[in-house]
Amino acid sequence: MTHPETTLISAGRPVTPGSPLNHPVSAASNYLPGGDLWYARAHGTETVAAFESVIGTLERGEAVAFSSGMAAVSAVLDLVPIGATVVRGRDLYHGVATLLAVGEANGRWKVRTAGEMADWFDEPADLLWVESPSNPLLEVLDLQAICENRPRDAVVAVDSTFATPIGQTPLGAGADFVVHSATKFIGGHSDLVAGVVVANAAGHVEHLRTRRELAGGSLGSLEAFLALRGLRTLGVRLERSASSAGELAQRLQGHGSVKRVWYPGLESHPTHHIAASQLRTMGAVLSFGVGDDALADRICDSFGLVVNATSLGGVETTAERRSGYPGSGHLPPGLIRMSVGLEAVDDLWFDLEAAISR
């Protein structure tokens, strides 16, 4: 079996003699009869199919691309019946947390938060929504333990956006779905919005494709082209970014004005032992706390090289205070999440230290 870094480069390419090396943008909405493609909203385009092929090969399942990460999340949640019980982690992307809360308020489902490992499987449930590593505290959950001990008939979906397909393959641990916001590290250049879900059960794949068609969550060809282009360099980008993130985490941990650092690669991180055995890379996202929201805002406003912006996973390093978002009551005050890009690590540290000191 080839390494994932090789799959990133070799999978999903045209094979017909005389074809271009990469799939171009397929600017088409419908097709002549007789082929696999019929209507772009229902079946996608050649460009979308190529993108799905690479992700599916990496995750060892069948990928279905969506117009955004939230569209991908919604398609998975639509699988559970009305009145179902969804179990979520305590640390969760605010968009998903909001979607779950709104659905519960409308009677669509019941939501239970798992504070400890046993909470994932000690009561009946229909869907376990696992985000690992989590946003923004980088909690790494034991995927195999959750999948093996799940409540009877429960479906497990893993948001693996922070890990990327390079860092982990949750289907191999027994998960039913893997979800990625391709806007982040997969795209890698802050120039697209996309999502993707991977499953290995034919019924689940058919559900995802039907949901995408009926809800209009199809991915555009240009976005698929950009995501596929970004995928080709994911291996080298993540290697560089993760190396810098680990170095910055160590330096921040020793800074007198920083109260705490959250990064799975640090031995001080509460789930470091799980990360060390489960992740192939500790990733490019870290968080650090300075103890005060106003101080955190001033630090973010003082950056010169680091970009004070939301989202993550691009070639540029971004940082923002996360405690102002809905559902962030569990976060300590003054928490800054940083997505480390490809700049020289010493230049990033100079900017960080200057902003904190200032």
Give every strand in the sheet of 285-289, ordered side by side: 260-262, 285-289, 335-339, 318-321, 307-308
pLDDT at 327 over 80: no
Q: What is the pLDDT of residue 257?
A: 95
Residue appearing with tokens 């990133």: 8
The CATH code that applies to domain 4-232 is 3.40.640.10
Q: What is the CA radius of gyration of the chain?
A: 20
pLDDT band at 358 (very low <50, low <70, confident <90, very high): confident
pLDDT digits (tens, 9 = 90+) for 288-305: 999 999 999 999 999 999
Residue appearing with tokens 């120039």: 191
pLDDT at 1 over 70: no
pLDDT digits (tens, 9 = 90+) for 268-277: 999 999 999 9
From 242, 321, 250, select the one nearest 284 (Cα to Cα): 242
Listed by start position, the domains of the chain span 4-232, 235-357
pTM for the complete prediction?
Answer: 0.96
The residues pairing with 337 across neighbouring beta strands, listed in sequence order, are: 287, 320
pLDDT digits (tens, 9 = 90+) for 171-198: 999 999 999 999 999 999 999 999 999 9
Class for domain 235-357, per CATH? Answer: alpha beta
pLDDT band at 88 (very low <50, low <70, confident <90, very high): very high
Supply the angle between the helices 293-301 and 345-357 in degrees, to the nearest 10.
Answer: 130
Compute the CA torsion angle 75, 79, 80, 81 (nearest 10 deg). 110
From the number of C-beta atoms within 10 Å of its C-beta (0-12, 13-18, 19+), residue 349 rates as middle
What is the rounded average pLDDT of the residues 201-229? Answer: 96
Angstrom distance (rounded) from CA 40 to CA 54: 19
